[in-house]
Structure 1
Amino acid sequence: MPFFSIIIPTYNRPEQLASCLESLVRLDYPHHDFEVVVVDDGSKTPLEPVVAHFHDQINLTLIQQANAGPAAARNTGVTRARGRYLAFTDDDCAPAPDWLTTLAVRFATVPDCMIGGRTVNVLDSNLYSTASQVLIDYLYTYYYYKNSSHPLSFFASNNMALPSDLFWVVGGFDTTFTLAAGEDRELCDRWLHHAYKMIYAPEVRVYHAHKLTLPTFWRQHFNYGRGAFCFHVRRSSRTDERVKVEPLKFFFNLLTYPLLQKSKQPEILVTALLIVSQLANVTGFFWERFKQYKSRQIL
């Protein structure tokens, strides 16, 4: 039985998937101690030719399903996983060679925790990819110092690992999240609701290559806003809490955060894009709210 099951949802990105699988071949962890489960979420291009090259190098399973979103794809992958621990990443990521080794060291001391690692943007010449990663880095930093009892309130699903049995105890990913937006945050919230712990492990690294333009940057953060609304709806049904707006300090620190980071991109442009991201997020939030209100009116 493998110690780790690596779950990768993929949709219409065969080249990125091939690069991701290449990085898994280079893992320094014993290959007989991990398996890879790739879930094709209804791609238009067949992926069998992509994964065929890797079958004799790693223990690899390809599953196909009708398009239902990354949350459903990850759950599908977990149903076929045999490992004691689940390690999630995305098809546009390349885990570092010591990815599983560093995770194993952490799980040796905290076997029942969720562990989130550090994501490194490799497209540092792309302004929009840089700004998007700076925002994630800021959220990790902000919530770490905000609540020391639980170092973070969420981990991004492109670098997250947890015990297989506890994944189903908390209910897995919520498949009503059909976008790549908010489903990881909602899972983490349920994880904390069950009183399980989360540990941030910056030595657990994956390298992220998600090329963005201004329109795709806007759409990404617009969808994050949509996912945020769905998250708060799910959370309020569980805790009866209203949506809480972050204090002004949160936004002030967000705008000054790029000035403290080393980057190839002009800090003022990164800050401007962080403002754009927040506008897109708010727009997506209220768009999803209006959409769900209208659907209830029709019903």
Structure 2
Amino acid sequence: MFFSIIIPLYNRPQEIKELLETLVLQTYRDFEVLVIEDGSVNDAEAIVNSFAGQLQLRYFKKPNEGQGFTRNFGFERAKGDYFIIFDSDCLIPANYLEIVNNSLATNYLDAYGGPDGAHASFTPTQKAISYSMTSPFTTGGIRGNKKAIGQFHPRSFNMGVSRQVWEKAGGFIITRLGEDIEYSIRIHSMGFKIGLIPDAVVYHKRRTNFSQFYKQLHFFGRARINIYKFFPKELKMVHFFPAAFTMFVLLTFITNLFGWQISKLFNLLLAVYILLIFFHAWLKNKSAKIAFLSIIAALTQLIAYGIGFMQDFWKRVIFNRS
């Protein structure tokens, strides 16, 4: 099978350098790489071209449209039997394509997704963020998990679709705000087979500080409401958890501010939750520092998502504004 790897890029020259360095090391060699510069001011043309002798590589520049439509630009020009999309902030294990090729040969999927994890080179903050996004104590536990609730939806940081999917379903119809989930649901609704390849792991850097992480998760919360507008039945109870948690934290603050007796119960519940995160993160990462940072990451994730979710739920569902 010949793979086309499609990577949208926006003002991240150093990230694409590190990503391409990992693709050079792939044990499975039947693939091409398409890097599409999406209206970047700080472009990576020189960096990408430096890999020309090591990879089957094509580089494009286009006006800024967002990641969804930029992937479509790559689909239209890809030569492969199967298209794989990565975010530019990913590192790819050397046996990734070999794992995907063997898995598809054994149990063919029209579209697949894979999990993400933290690389040893990541900073403690990045490892804490990675923990939070994959932890069973946050909504991240449903990502890249065999036991996910409902139909599995591949995410665009680590996702593949066959040429047949592209030819029948087309590409992304929205460019941001949950474009990958909408695409996954639409592919599934057309009868294609979608699944998780558990061993097709990528190392996803995500954000390097908590301020950036907050903005990203606030955006994710809004994106869930955008998906609801396309597919109302896809809004599950688990998606309300961050909003409920955010309201609980606010209520805890208020009860402590006014000295209400029930504040003791709220404080206890919050303390137990924080301790669960701390010790689980410590067990996973073997580091007290990362465990402490994981508390900050988890609270940031849930509150940012919850605020974004409530903001657009109120605006777009209650008041039905676009």
AA aligned to 1:126 is P
Work out whether residues 8 and 36 of structure 2, in 8 Å CA contact, stay in contact via their aligned partners in 1: yes
Please list, as runs of the form range in 1=range in 2, the aligned pairs for 1:151-230 lying within 5 A after superposition.
153-175=152-174, 177-178=175-176, 181-230=177-226
1:260 lines up with 2:280 in the alignment: yes
- Structure 1 pair 160–215 and aligned structure 2 pair: CA distance change class (3 A): same
Residue range with higher mean Cα deviation, 272-281 or 221-230: 272-281
Task: Measure the CA separation in 2 of the matches of 1:153 and 1:37.
Answer: 27
Unaligned regions of 5+ residues in structure 1, if any? Answer: none
AA aligned to 2:27 is D
Work out whether residues 152 and 196 of structure 2, in 8 Å CA contact, stay in contact via their aligned partners in 1: no
- Structure 1 pair 65–56 and aligned structure 2 pair: CA distance change class (3 A): same
- Structure 1 pair 283–182 and aligned structure 2 pair: CA distance change class (3 A): same
Please list, as runs of the form range in 1=range in 2, the aligned pairs for 1:3-152 lying within 5 A after superposition.
3-30=2-29, 33-122=30-119, 124-127=122-125, 129-138=126-135, 141-142=141-142, 144-147=146-149
- Structure 1 pair 167–257 and aligned structure 2 pair: CA distance change class (3 A): farther
1:245 lines up with 2:265 in the alignment: no
Match of 1:280 in 2: 304
Work out whether residues 218 and 304 of structure 2, in 8 Å CA contact, stay in contact via their aligned partners in 1: yes
TM-score (norm 1): 0.82
Work out whether residues 165 and 192 of structure 2, in 8 Å CA contact, stay in contact via their aligned partners in 1: no
Task: Measure the CA separation in 1 of the matches of 2:162 and 2:279.
Answer: 38
- Structure 1 pair 114–293 and aligned structure 2 pair: CA distance change class (3 A): closer
Task: Measure the CA separation in 2 of the matches of 1:38 and 1:212.
Answer: 23
- Structure 1 pair 286–268 and aligned structure 2 pair: CA distance change class (3 A): same
TM-score (norm 2): 0.77
Residue range with higher mean Cα deviation, 103-112 or 70-79: 103-112
AA aligned to 1:156 is R
When the two chains are superposed, the root-mean-square deviation of aligned CA atoms in Å is 3.2
**3-state SS of 1:277 partner:** helix
Work out whether residues 118 and 204 of structure 2, in 8 Å CA contact, stay in contact via their aligned partners in 1: yes
- Structure 1 pair 114–136 and aligned structure 2 pair: CA distance change class (3 A): farther
- Structure 1 pair 13–55 and aligned structure 2 pair: CA distance change class (3 A): same
Task: Measure the CA separation in 2 of the matches of 1:13 and 1:69.
Answer: 14
Work out whether residues 8 and 39 of structure 1, in 8 Å CA contact, stay in contact via their aligned partners in 2: yes
**3-state SS of 2:79 partner:** coil
Deviations 1:263-282 (A, max 9, x none): 23453542343232122112
Task: Measure the CA separation in 2 of the matches of 1:200 and 1:88.
Answer: 15
Work out whether residues 12 and 88 of structure 2, in 8 Å CA contact, stay in contact via their aligned partners in 1: yes
Work out whether residues 218 and 277 of structure 1, in 8 Å CA contact, stay in contact via their aligned partners in 2: yes
Work out whether residues 36 and 59 of structure 2, in 8 Å CA contact, stay in contact via their aligned partners in 1: yes
